[in-house]
Chains A and B, each alone.
Chain A
Amino acid sequence: MREKETTLYLGPQHPGITGNMMVKLKVAGDTVVKAETHIGYLHRAFEKLMEQRTWTQSFPIVCRICVPEPDPNEENLARAIEEIEGREVPERAKYIRVLVLELARLSSYQLWMAGQSGSMGLYTMPQWTVGDRDYILDLFEELTGGRIYHMYIWAGGVRRDLPDGFKGRVLKVMDYLESRLKDYDKLLFQNALFRKRAEGVGIIPKEKAIEWGVVGSPLRGCGIKHDVRIDEPYEVYDKLEFEVPTHEGNDIWSRAMVRRQEIEQSISIVRQVLDKMPGGDYYNKVPNPLTWRIPPGDAYVKTESVRGEFGYYVVSDGSDKPRRVHVRGPAYAHGITVLEEVLKGANIADVSFIMNSLGTCPPEMER
């Protein structure tokens, strides 16, 4: 007996969606036949706004493009301006930038753990991880003045130096997080129910992964080892020692294993940075930021964020306002092309589970 096909709107108001977007599903019984992504609910026209603000005024706007992890945006814009203009950044500023980027990665991993387990029904995990993430946000508030949006990385360095005694506080938070990893393991990563639910679900075929535009942890979960930090090292990543884990098996379980190992690597990078930090200047001063002009040229820079390769294409025409800033978030390919392919044949109960694992974040898809 063939089941009747109905249309379901997993709409903008839904407790299981990662943000404000809609997935239109055609369902036969319990299985998804066809999926279509609709975005546009968060469009603020950032790129048009940036054409009317000066270079200095663009920095507070750029943080708000990616809501869970705002620091790669500022880093990309700063590095693009430095590449077009040819400006040097002092050594200490590079180490401080790496410290801020890795702390933002840690807080974003905790949000991922909260989303992944909340969509499965395990509600203890969000209470633990979102509560622990607050200790990292306290560190950010002491360093930069804001909990979520920092506006700290500037073209030419960082805005202010580290406060006294900051190193001791960061190390204390890192020790605390390492001791909590054992509890997270017992509850989520060694949980037999999670393993049974996650294995064999949300499969991306390995030979088509690069052609579909998959980047970041989903690509490493297919067994392909690529990471912007080792392909094209930026800031001081070529002087630090860390590994890039991969895992075979192209499903949700292998992506979760990859991310679990990356948390340990991030904590080790933070400790190395605090050990090796040199003294010196933290800012290469820009003469009069209000009438600052960049010579004509263009650049493409990229950073590794939690979800993958985050790219910026910046064009300057010689005036004091940007000509074109085009943002390429890693969720642009994951959320529309890859999601529509992976959801074919999935169960309705797994739709939210798959979306959390791929990392679909609507603010960076539609800016």
Chain B
Amino acid sequence: MVTPNINEKDKLRIREIVENFARKHSLWVLAYGTGCGAIEIPPTMTSRYDAERFGIRGSATPRQADVLLITGYLSTKTLKRVIRTYEQMQAPKYVIGFGSCTINGGMYWDSYNTINALDRYLPVDVYINGCMPRPEAVIQGFIKLQNIIAEGKGNGAEKYQENLEWYRENQKKIIHNWQMPDYNW
């Protein structure tokens, strides 16, 4: 009898494929409605457009969540809380930017209280544009995130940790009173 000879590199690759398959079919979204896009999340999660058949459901605390869904614009007061929430989530974690306001500011581009480009402050994986995006567009965004995870490219947490000084410099330029714990995990 001949046993197949699998070397270490292939074993790691097979393990990664199985892990990614499990991760992409169970994405838990944090229950945080940060902006006015939160009005299209209940239709996506309930009986008509049923996102639960893809494995997407809500989670109450950041410690048990995988996906942070930034629904719409972010004021500076909310940005501070979102950064603290993002750093409390455990790797692997993903960020989805929802709506046109995360891409280039939308219709509030000249307001003194909203930020304009989200990926200077947090690492973003997928953008969904529209104002508001339809529930079918939201589900298509989640499927794109599933493809990114399956290819092994869903590494926003490592990107954040490697470029921490750059992200901190951008964040501290906006948030003047920085009273947050050090990020050490």
Q: How far apart are A187's CB and chain B's nearest CB, in angstroms?
A: 15
In the complex, the answer to whether A52 meets B110 with C-beta atoms within 8 Å is yes
CA A8 to CA B130, docked complex, whole Å: 37
CA A13 to CA B134, docked complex, whole Å: 24
In the complex, the answer to whether B113 meets A147 with C-beta atoms within 8 Å is no
Most buried by B among A45, A114, A128, A137: A45
* Chain B, Cβ-Cβ closest to A18: B33
* Chain B, Cβ-Cβ closest to A45: B111
- Please choose the segment from A36-44, A256-264, A303-311 that sits at the chain B interface, where 4 or more of its residues have CB less than 8 A away: A36-44
In the complex, the answer to whether B43 meets A134 with C-beta atoms within 8 Å is yes
Within 8 A of A (CB), among B73-119: 73, 75, 77-78, 81, 85, 107-108, 110-114
* Chain B interface residue count, Cβ-Cβ cutoff 8 angstroms: 34
- In the complex, which of the residues A12, A147, A148 contacts B78, with contact meaning CB atoms closer than 8 Å? A12
In the complex, the answer to whether A49 meets B33 with C-beta atoms within 8 Å is no
* Chain A, Cβ-Cβ closest to B35: A42
B148 in the interface (beta carbon within 8 A): no
In the complex, the answer to whether A44 meets B73 with C-beta atoms within 8 Å is yes
In the complex, the answer to whether B46 meets A126 with C-beta atoms within 8 Å is yes
Q: Give chain A's interface residue range (CB within 8 Å of chain B).
A: 35 or more
In the complex, the answer to whether B34 meets A44 with C-beta atoms within 8 Å is no
B131 in the interface (beta carbon within 8 A): yes
B17 in the interface (beta carbon within 8 A): no
B31 in the interface (beta carbon within 8 A): yes
Known: A44-B73, A130-B42. A149 touches B131 (CB 8 A): yes
Within 8 A of A (CB), among B53-90: 58, 60, 62, 73, 75, 77-78, 81, 85
A145 in the interface (beta carbon within 8 A): no
Q: How many A-B residue pairs have CB under 8 A?
A: 87
Q: How far apart are A66's CB and chain B's nearest CB, in angstroms?
A: 10
Set of chain B residues within 8 Å of A134, measured between Cβ atoms: 43, 48
Q: How far apart are B185's CB and chain A's nearest CB, in angstroms?
A: 19
In the complex, the answer to whether A20 meets B33 with C-beta atoms within 8 Å is yes
In the complex, the answer to whether B132 meets A149 with C-beta atoms within 8 Å is yes
In the complex, the answer to whether B46 meets A127 with C-beta atoms within 8 Å is yes
Q: How far apart are B53's CB and chain A's nearest CB, in angstroms?
A: 14
Known: A13-B62, A147-B132. A43 touches B81 (CB 8 A): no
CA A148 to CA B44, docked complex, whole Å: 14
B21 in the interface (beta carbon within 8 A): no
Set of chain B residues within 8 Å of A15, measured between Cβ atoms: 31, 58, 60
Q: How far apart are B133's CB and chain A's nearest CB, in angstroms?
A: 10
Proximity string of chain B (29-54) to chain A, C-beta cutoff 8 Å, 1 when within and 0 when not:
01111111011101100111000000
- In the complex, which of the residues A13, A45, A67 contacts B39, with contact meaning CB atoms closer than 8 Å? A67
Set of chain A residues within 8 Å of B43, measured between Cβ atoms: 130, 133-134, 137
Set of chain B residues within 8 Å of A67, measured between Cβ atoms: 36, 38-39
* Chain B, Cβ-Cβ closest to A129: B46
CA A49 to CA B48, docked complex, whole Å: 37
Q: How far apart are A133's CB and chain B's nearest CB, in angstroms?
A: 8
List 5 A–B pairs whose Cβ atoms lie within 8 Å, in order of A's numbering.
A15-B31, A20-B78, A44-B114, A114-B42, A131-B47
Residues of A within 8 A of B (CB): 11-15, 19-20, 40-45, 48-49, 52, 60-61, 64, 67-68, 111, 114, 126-128, 130-131, 133-134, 137, 147-149, 363
